[in-house]
Chains A and B, each alone.
Chain A
Amino acid sequence: MTTGHFRTPSGGRIDRSRPLRFSFDGRSYSGFEGDTVASALLANGVHLVGRSFKYHRPRGIMGAGPDEPNALIGVRRDQGRYTPNLLATQTELYDGLDAVSQNRHPSLEKDRMAVNDRFSRFIPAGFYYKTFMWPRKAWDRLFEPRIRAAAGLGIAPSESDPDSYAQRYAHCDVLVIGAGPAGLTAAMEAAKSGAQIILCDDRAAMGGSLLAANQVTIDGAPAARWLAGMLDSLAGMANVTLLPRTSAFGYYPHNWIGLAQKLTDHLADAAPGQPRERLWQVRAKQVVIAAGAIERPLVFPDNDRPGIMLADAARTYLQQYGVEVGRKVVIVAAHDNGYRTAHELKDAGIDIAAIADIRGDSPVAARARQAGLRVLTNAAIDGTTGKLRVASITLTSGGKRETFACDAVLMAGGFTPSVHLFSQSRGKLMWNEDLQAYLPDQSAEAERSAGACRGHFALDEALADGAEAGRSAAEAAGYPFRPAIIPLACAVAHPVGGGGHIGAAPTSDPSRPKAFVDWQNDVTAADILLAAREGFLSIEHVKRYTTTGMATDQGKLSNINALGIVAEATGRTIPEVGLTTFRAPYTPISFGTLAGRARRDLLDPARITAINDWAIEQGAVFEDVGNWKRAHFFPKNGEDLHASVARECLAVRESVGIFDASTLGKIEIVGPDAAEFMNRFYVNAWTKLGVGKCRYGVLLREDGFVLDDGVVGRLAPDRFHVTTTTSGAARVLGMMEDYLQTEWSDLDVWLTSTTEQWSVIAVQGPKAREVIEPLVQGLDLSPDAFPHMSIADARICGVPMRLMRVSFTGELGFEVNVPSGYGAMVWQAIWERGQAHDMVAYGTETMHVLRAEKGFIIIGQETDGTVTPDDAGLAWAIGKAKPDFVGKRSLARPAMTDPDRKQLVGLLTRDPRIVLEEGAQIVAPAAEDRSIGHVTSAYHSSVLGKSIALAMVRAGRARLGERLEVPMPGGSIAVDVVAPVFFDPKGDRVNV
């Protein structure tokens, strides 16, 4: 096991009494409680942690927080618990942690794909768009598989996630995002008012920059002590909820904030059943965003070697984790934080070879020289060397070029306020010329920003700004709090302010191309310049063309430098170039967090009928129809679908079948104006429909196309029993309510969904009457007393029944409606009676075949939202004398009466064994390149002994007898156009 040679003898917030073992790429290391994987690796001298996305260049840890672009690792707990793409800088160490690097083949040290780097001049920006467009086959077979194999970050886990995820809704008066200096004072001031506060922070420990503030006092106390006191006070307040390890990933309208809380990832062993993460959906009256700022890297040649990192990250590793990122360090600076870092590292005994400031002389430079540091001003950065770790850097200053040996290069480009969440809230940003930064300007939501995320970088300013923000947020939430805020006096050894550099840093060797802007997507300054030369002016276009800022880090380090390069190349200012949109999530979150409990059985509710258990016992195969579970077919003795359906169909035609039609939508329409409502709503005429009679109803949308259909029975002059398709039930009821509430308020009508109230048992076949007659009480079922298309309320098996004599099969048929609680009992009684007649239970597939034999359409199969009643052969249903109904006016538009419209026809294949494919296109033999229609339904008909199909064909009714063709990959299939009714065209069988 390797021990931590780069660990300082003392200091930091790690617990040195609790060593932890872990492995990285199979090699064992040790760290301490309080480490992240990144800090523990650095303590062991490991900088090389990944290969880059495109060029497979060796990459090291750059940052110490959520802005890290390189150090993406996979962590494996067991077979089902492998999490790719975790940030090593945010992954807390636990004993036994098993981590692997990504995007390397076979190892970090030897990566075959690194050859990409040598050919990089052949893979410039826009390379995918330019190179792989031709020939088409090469894309499918050659380019795409190779790109997919080479690209991608991490490997998806191979097994279903065994962990559970929790979700919680929360309301609060003030949500404070970020527990750095400004967030802490904001939460405290707001909490003093009595308001309900949630304070969240994405790190394990709250405190933000204060966690690494060693040479700082607040209110006379060391920053660490002040922080501990502050956190104690907040934790003791009943109106404050502290959420560490909780990332505010999305800001949605009306102050709805998504928080992702990690609960067990930092534990070596989580208790069984303990949720791994929790999604908080917080509705806050007021929000304080105290998200801090992110240090910018400098763009110079070969700025991506392991060991080159952000200055503040190096300072954080030293002060918070007791880790030296190198022994001999060069600092490249465009901002005073470079000097602060130099002083603090030097105080820890680290050799600072040089500070290269691209700016001119300044008081901070003079102070550094006084402290014995070597400072180069007006420096140009010419490049670095080192294979798997930076070994030297070449700098030019005052006309003199010099190369410094080093094992780390620290970049201080200035701080970029973290405005992601503010921008997500649709707040307007404003460019601040003094600070050279975009800052929050106009709010769209009830929020305010505080501290460094709105440009208050100095500690005393951030603390005061947070307090003000907390105070005003509480007041706006209805909790005024008057006493004056007492300013906190801060003493900071090396203060840092705003400023810095944006764009490419000066270099005396501009020919060297690899100056990286976006480390995670491997985008260089040259790529962005190329995009500008090729005419991409909009920053949104530059982003998509070069992919800069489009990786999982959302361009936290790269966006502003990319803007600066585009601005310079196109002679515009940064605000003229504009800014790309910030999108959620701020940092990647897991699918598990979003899914929560909504997995497996809880993913989507299943709707079942009263007959469901019986169908399961009978061995039915089910299909999903919307949320309904419907019996698809009832196989016997190992039958397949085809055999089972053939048997079921024949039995219905020869004897009798039973079918669960309970899922049909049912709406009861009641009131003095019920008939008038039906007249206005459906195409049919309803006034003359007698009580006790049924009619097939057709419903259009206002644009004239068929929306739904179903049998409607009249129970009384003011009462209709309307059935709809299974999937259209909610849509039809919603549309009825819409017209009734918003257009026809003159009508006195009530609508009630009764879909779930009735079990519907369809008994179909020549023996149907014989089966149910002995069970029915109070109703004469003889043909004259209760003819086809009758409806009546009576009793069956002693329970209330609404009986409809209807047929979707073309056979004598009844639909027995009973209250759902009696559904199973009545079904069983009918089933037992049916055994004497060889009754079969049939499923939806047989139902489809039987109705197709009769040419009955199914909404959504023959119709597709562009079919008129006439197209579907349903013009006969229209009440011609009615002045108006929904969709009537549209039917008179010229396009709707075009004789060349697609019309419903039947098709018979010349070879009766061939069943057409539903959706197949249809052509005329003389014009095979032009589709004139499509197959909508196709089955083998066992009763007819041949295949049948329904189709929508242009001018189809004028083509009866024509031969057409259905082109398929194996050759064209010849078909004859016939009338769409294949069986019992006169309809004699229903009238028995």
Chain B
Amino acid sequence: MLIIPCPYCGERPELEFSYGGQAHIDRPLAPSDLSDEEWNSYLYVRANPKGRHAERWRHIHGCARFFNAVRDTRTDHILATYKVGEPEPEIPA
């Protein structure tokens, strides 16, 4: 079980969170302007990196807020967490 630092509440066990998939995928403002390929890519195409992954989490059994985390998929180490709307932080290797 991971320990995840909620940017609003602090460190909490993974049990209090739900996972929300890859972060920084904005819903298109005018979906009807998109081609089928573009819409398909928004709907289904996701990164699957071995290493750093910016992803969404929700502190569902806590403050209930969504936030973003950078997790190393090899080690499950959480390298950073940050609030919705903030850019992915630069983390030195």
Q: Scoring B residues 1 to 41 as 1 if CB is less than 8 Å from chain A, else 0, what string do you get? A: 11100000000000000101000001110111010100110
What is the minimal beta-carbon distance from A422 to any residue of chain B, in angstroms?
14
Bound-complex Cα distance A737 to B63 (A): 12
Asked if A637 is an interface residue, CB under 8 A from chain B, the answer is no
**Structural contact, A256 and B1, CB atoms closer than 8 A:** yes
> Which chain A residue shows the least CB distance to B65?
A741
What's the Cα separation between A894 and B40 when bound, in Å? 12
In the complex, B52 has a CB within 8 A of chain A = no
The stretch that binds B, out of A402-410, A451-459, A884-892, is A884-892
Given contacts A884-B30, A884-B31, is CB(A894)–CB(B58) below 8 Å?
no
Q: Mark B55-71, 1 if CB is under 8 A from A, else 0.
A: 01010100011100000
* In the complex, A893 has a CB within 8 A of chain B: yes
Query: Cβ of A742 and Cβ of B84 under 8 Å apart?
Result: yes
Measured between C-beta atoms, what is the minimum distance from B18 to chain A in Å?
7
Question: For residue A888, which residues in chain B have a CB less than 8 angstroms away from its CB?
Answer: 31-32
Residue in contact with A253 in the complex, picked from B2, B18, B28, B65, CB distance below 8 Å: B2
CB contact list, A699-745 vs B, under 8 A: 702-703, 734, 737-739, 741-743, 745
Interchain CA distance A884-B3 in the complex, whole Å: 39
Is A883 in contact with chain B by the CB < 8 A criterion?
yes
> Which residue of the partner chain A has the closest CB to B27?
A743
Contacting pair B26 A743 (CB below 8 A)? yes
Chain B residues with Cβ below 8 Å from A894 are 36
Select which of A256, A703, A889 is within 8 A of B32 by beta carbon.
A889
- Chain A residues with CB under 8 Å of B34's CB are 889
B87 at the A/B interface (Cβ < 8 Å)? no
Q: Does B92 contact A (CB under 8 A)?
A: no
Most A C-beta atoms less than 10 A away, residue of B30, B31, B32, B74: B31
CB of B43 within 8 A of chain A?
A: yes
List chain A residues, Cβ under 8 A from B1.
Answer: 252-254, 256, 281
**Chain B residues within 8 Å of A253, by CB:** 1-2, 75-77
B49 at the interface (CB under 8 A from A): no
With A253-B2, A444-B75 as contacts: A890 and B39 at CB distance below 8 Å: yes
Contact of B43 among A252, A702, A742 (CB under 8 A): A702
Interface: A283 (CB within 8 A): yes
A426 within 8 A of B: yes
CA gap between A892 and B36 in the complex, in Å: 9
Cα distance A745–B18 in the bound complex, in angstroms:
20
Residue among B18, B30, B34, B76 with max Cβ neighbours from chain A (10 Å): B76
Complex CA gap A893/B31 in Å reads 12
* Contact present for A884 and B2 (CB under 8 Å): no
Which A residues touch B40, using CB under 8 A? 893
Residues in B neighbouring A892, C-beta threshold 8 A: 32
Structural contact, A737 and B64, CB atoms closer than 8 A: yes
Q: Which residue of B lies closest to A887 (CB)?
A: B31
Across-interface contacts of A283 in B (CB, < 8 A): 3
In the assembled complex, how far is the CB of residue A742 from the closest CB belonging to chain B, in whole angstroms?
A: 5
- Please indicate the chain B residues that have their CB under 8 angstroms from the CB of A426 in the complex: 74-75
A-B contact number at CB 8 A: 59
CB of A762, distance to nearest CB on chain B (Å): 30
Given A254-B76, A734-B18, check contact A741 B32 (CB 8 Å): no
Which listed residue (B3, B60, B77, B84) contacts A734, Cβ 8 A? Answer: B60
CB distance from A650 to the nearest CB of B (A): 45
Give the residue of B3, B39, B66 whose beta carbon is less than 8 angstroms from that of A737. B66
Q: How far, in angstroms, from A703 to B34 measured CA to CA in the complex? A: 14
Bound: A737/B77 CA distance, A = 27
Q: Which residue of B lies closest to A740 (CB)?
A: B66
CB distance from A249 to the nearest CB of B (A): 15
Complex-state Cα separation, A745 to B66, whole angstroms: 12
* CB-based nearest B residue for A886: B27
Nearest chain A CB to B36's CB is how many angstroms away?
6
* A252 surroundings in chain B (CB, below 8 A): 1
* B31: chain A residues within 8 A (beta carbon): 884, 888-889
Contacts of A737 in B (CB 8 A): 58, 64, 66
> Could you tell me the distance in whole angstroms from the C-beta of A709 to the nearest C-beta in chain B?
22
Query: Which of these, A254, A702, A745, contacts B3 with CB under 8 Å?
Result: A254
Contacts of A893 in B (CB 8 A): 36, 39-40
Bound form: Cα–Cα A35–B85 in Å: 64
Separation of A562 and B74 alpha carbons in the complex (Å)? 28
Chain B residues with Cβ below 8 Å from A742 are 56, 66, 84
Contacts of A444 in B (CB 8 A): 75
Shortest Cβ distance from A425 into B: residue: B75
Query: Could you say which residues of chain A place their CB within 8 Å of the CB of B28?
Result: 889
Q: Which residues of B contact A739 (CB under 8 A)?
A: 27
A742 to B27, CA, bound (A): 9
Chain B residue with the shortest CB-CB distance to A702: B43
A915 to chain B, nearest CB (A): 39
Q: How far is the CA of A702 from the CA of B75 in the complex (A)?
A: 32
- In chain A between 875 and 902, which residues have their CB closer than 8 angstroms to a CB of chain B? 883-884, 888-890, 892-894
Complex CA distance for A224 and B66, rounded to whole angstroms: 58
Tell me, in angstroms, the Cα distance from A888 to B39 when the chains sit together. Answer: 11
A738-B66, A889-B39, A893-B39 given as contacts; is B2 within 8 A of A745 (CB)? no
> CA A256 – CA B58 in complex, angstroms?
22
Give CA–CA (A742, B67) in the complex, Å: 9
Q: For B2, what are the chain A residues with a Cβ–Cβ distance below 8 Å? A: 253-254
Flag if B43 contacts A703 (CB, 8 Å).
Answer: yes
- Measured in the bound complex, the distance between the Cα atoms of B14 and A256 in whole Å is 12
Residue of A nearest to B18 (CB): A734
Whether B76 contacts A883 by the Cβ 8 Å rule is no
A738 surroundings in chain B (CB, below 8 A):
20, 58, 66
How many Å lie between the Cα of A743 and that of B40 in the bound state?
Answer: 18
> How long is the Cα–Cα vector from A254 to B56 in the complex, in angstroms?
19
Smallest CB separation, B25 vs chain A (Å): 10
Residue pairs across A and B with Cβ atoms less than 8 A apart, 26 shown, are: A252-B1, A253-B75, A253-B76, A253-B77, A254-B1, A254-B2, A254-B3, A254-B77, A281-B1, A444-B75, A702-B43, A734-B18, A734-B58, A734-B60, A737-B58, A738-B20, A743-B26, A745-B84, A745-B85, A884-B31, A884-B32, A888-B31, A888-B32, A889-B32, A893-B36, A894-B36
**7 tightest Cβ-Cβ pairs between the two chains A and B:** A889-B31, A253-B76, A741-B66, A254-B3, A743-B27, A444-B75, A742-B66
- Starting from the known contacts A253-B76, A741-B65, A890-B39, 19 additional A-B residue pairs (CB-CB under 8 Å) come to A253-B2, A253-B77, A254-B1, A254-B2, A254-B3, A254-B76, A281-B1, A426-B75, A734-B60, A737-B64, A737-B66, A738-B20, A738-B66, A883-B32, A884-B30, A888-B31, A889-B31, A889-B32, A893-B40
